[in-house]
């Protein structure tokens, strides 16, 4: 396949290098700044254990120079997605698949859920600009269960996990999802095809919903959040609200907050992605991870007072520190 990675950071670089290493795909990158320079100089680079996997990469800051692709992987942070969508057209042909490998509630989440109504989610796609730029029939959804970091521009370090769950935004299993799953599995991923990807996305979000913003607010690693009984109790209350919202939209959660937090505790003293972004002065993904849950709750008539409080506090923190847009 002819593949382009938009957002050659931690997850984008991880996927891009792995696909390029199979030798069966031409994998380019749409990048800018130091990342663009590093990709042009060194190509794809992925550190796994003590070894660095390196492959050639055609990198450009001009989508038109790369041209139409078979697969476009969008691996940017949620605040950057609107700008990406506005410039993605030169990469898309009628046959192109778009695989968004991102955190939080995706812009494609609503169309199969009549309970949400016809309007796009304002928290993730205000005015529907992203949906207009990236046609839903070309989207294959993705939920990432892997952790990686950028050691320096263009050099990705794999930390843990190999999981990529993919599926149709409207549900069901299709030949194209099976074909893409095979390609990802051949690149070394634990790739799974899901008939109900919205539920998989909601389950991952259920854990990120509280750990990400609480860690950004406090600077605490996950173990310290869970060790504080008052904070852990607040997190459990917010998770219960999100589970109630999920049940209303067909994304039921079968675990209790205590069950999920027991899984989180096994990961040890890790820094969430939102805490890493806050420490680095990067915009935080608050809307896709927290605001979207509150918005969906309002649409389906489920009260979310604890999620609302978490959203308000983290939004104010972000605005004070220049990490979230001003009102």
pLDDT of residue 72: 98
Q: What's the pLDDT score for residue 268?
A: 87
H helices of 137-228, in order, are 175-186, 197-218, 222-227
Please compute the mean of the pLDDT values over residues 46-69 and round it to a whole number.
Answer: 96
- Adjacent-strand bridge partners of 26: 2
pLDDT higher than 80, residue 327: no
Q: Give domain 2-195's CATH number out of 3.40.50.720, 3.40.640.10, 3.40.1500.10, 3.40.50.2020.
A: 3.40.50.720
Q: What is the Cα–Cα distance from 119 to 315, expressed in whole angstroms?
A: 24
pLDDT at 112 over 80: no
- The residue ranges of every structural domain in the chain are 2-195, 199-320
Mean pLDDT in residue range 131-159 = 95
Q: Read off the tokens for 271.
A: 């820094």
Mean per-residue pLDDT for 5-24?
A: 97
pTM above 0.85, yes or no: yes
Distance CA 89, CA 75 (A): 16
Whether domain 199-320 has CATH 2.40.340.10: the reply is no
Q: Is 204 a catalytic residue?
A: yes
Q: Catalytic one among 2, 159, 204, 271?
A: 204
The DSSP-derived string for 7-22 is --SHHHHHHHHHHHHT
The helix-helix angle for 229-248 and 305-320 (nearest 10°) equals: 110
| Mean pLDDT computed over every residue of the chain | 95
- pLDDT tens-digit map of 119-140: 899 999 999 999 999 999 999 9
pLDDT of residue 314: 98
What is the share, in percent, of the chain residues with pLDDT greater than 90? Answer: 92
Hey, what are 54's tokens? 């390196």
Q: Looking at residue 117, what is its pLDDT? A: 83
Residue 225's pLDDT band (cuts 50, 70, 90): very high
Residue 110 is predicted with a pLDDT of 87
Q: What is the pLDDT of residue 118?
A: 84
Q: What pLDDT, in 10s, does the model give residues 173-200?
A: 999 999 999 999 999 999 999 999 999 9
């Amino acid at each position: 396949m002819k593949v382009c990675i938009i957002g050659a950071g931690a997850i984008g670089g991880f996927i891009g290098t792995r696909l390029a290493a199979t030798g069966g795909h031409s994998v380019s990158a749409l990048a800018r700044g130091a990342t663009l320079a590093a990709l042009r100089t060194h190509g794809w680079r992925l550190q796994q254990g003590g070894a660095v996997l390196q492959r050639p990469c055609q990198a450009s800051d001009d989508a038109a120079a790369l041209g139409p692709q078979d697969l476009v992987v969008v691996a940017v942070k949620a605040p950057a997605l609107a700008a990406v969508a506005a410039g993605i057209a030169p990469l898309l042909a009628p046959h192109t698949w778009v695989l968004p490998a991102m955190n939080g509630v995706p812009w494609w989440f609503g169309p199969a859920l009549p309970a949400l109504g016809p309007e796009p989610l304002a928290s993730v796609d205000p005015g529907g600009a992203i949906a207009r730029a990236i046609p839903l029939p070309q989207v294959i959804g993705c939920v990432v269960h892997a952790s990686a970091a950028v050691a320096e521009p263009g050099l990705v370090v794999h930390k843990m996990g190999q999981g990529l769950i993919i599926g149709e935004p409207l549900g069901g299993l299709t030949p194209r999802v099976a074909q893409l799953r095979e390609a990802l599995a051949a690149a070394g991923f634990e790739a799974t095809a899901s008939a109900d990807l919205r539920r998989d996305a909601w389950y991952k979000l259920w854990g990120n919903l509280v750990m990400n913003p609480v860690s950004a607010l406090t600077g605490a690693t996950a173990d310290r959040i869970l060790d504080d009984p008052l904070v852990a109790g607040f997190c459990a209350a917010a998770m219960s609200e999100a589970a109630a919202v999920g049940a209303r939209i067909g994304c039921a959660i079968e675990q209790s907050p205590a069950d999920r937090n027991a899984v989180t505790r096994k990961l040890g003293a890790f820094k969430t992605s939102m805490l890493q972004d806050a420490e680095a002065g990067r915009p935080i993904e608050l809307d896709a991870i927290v605001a979207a849950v509150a918005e969906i709750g309002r649409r389906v008539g489920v009260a979310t007072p604890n999620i609302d409080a978490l959203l308000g506090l983290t939004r104010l923190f972000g605005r004070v520190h220049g990490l979230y847009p001003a009102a």
